[in-house]
Homo-oligomer: A and B are copies of this chain.
Amino acid sequence: MSSGKFLTYIASHLNRDEAEISSIVASCSFKNVKKGSYLLQANEHCNHGFFVETGLLRQYSIDKKGKEHTISFVPEDWFVTDRDSVFFNRPSKYFIQAQEDSQVVLIDQNYEKLMSEKIPNFAEFNNRLLHNHISQLQERIDLLLGATAKERYLHFIKMYPDILLRVPQTMVASYLGITPEGLSRVRKDLALKNFKK
């Protein structure tokens, strides 16, 4: 099975040629997952990272009141894991589910160690990933604290126009922290405003 994208991704971000990386990547496994199936479920220990070659994943939690909260959408060429669970070896609070039929690379828990030992600039690259993650989480907090539902929706459209078309609105709503009905209202409102101008 081909690992085109993942190999290319890693090699280019580490400034190495693919040959040099391929032995390490070879230690990762591949998986085809059907829409609706799970790569991780709450209370399990997460011991992989997941790189999406094709398809789309969704990471979400279910709170005490039984409501779903979408943490992230993960399309091709993106990576997802529960860093909290992996790093601290705690049970995960999250589900990672295939939103479309997908092909993913399973990256083993000790991949980071392996890479750090073999590839000098891996640590720096991984550091960049962590900092990106922090930036993105912080921005989301800022939006939740300071922006209305409509503003958050507009921000989402701008950031992830492609995702918008690939998932049901009910899931976008659960990402934004509003109900599907709420989102429907926001959309109607925007449509009216644009029409009137």
Q: For residue A145, which residues in chain B have a CB less than 8 angstroms away from its CB? A: 63, 69, 144, 177
Q: For residue A144, which residues in chain B have a CB less than 8 angstroms away from its CB? A: 141, 144-145, 177
The verdict on A162 contacting chain B, using a C-beta distance below 8 Å, is no
Check A69 against B142 for contact (C-beta < 8 Å). Answer: yes
Which of B61, B63, B134, B146 sits near A134, CB closer than 8 Å? B134
Check A137 against B135 for contact (C-beta < 8 Å). Answer: no
Report the bound CA distance from A93 to B139 in whole Å. 10
Min CB distance, A68 to chain B, in Å? Answer: 10
Chain A at the B interface: mostly helix, strand, loop or mixed? helix
Residues of chain A at interface, number, CB under 8 A: 30
Q: For residue A141, which residues in chain B have a CB less than 8 angstroms away from its CB? A: 71, 137, 140-141, 144
Check B140 against A130 for contact (C-beta < 8 Å). Answer: no
Within 55-113 of A, Cβ neighbours of B (below 8 Å) are at 61, 63-65, 67, 69, 71, 83-84, 87-88, 93
Check A134 against B131 for contact (C-beta < 8 Å). Answer: no
Which of B64, B65, B84 sits near A131, CB closer than 8 Å? B84
Check A134 against B177 for contact (C-beta < 8 Å). Answer: no
- Find the B residue at minimum CB distance from A61: B142
- Some 7 contacts from A to B, beta carbons below 8 A apart, are A64-B146, A65-B146, A83-B135, A84-B131, A84-B135, A88-B131, A141-B141
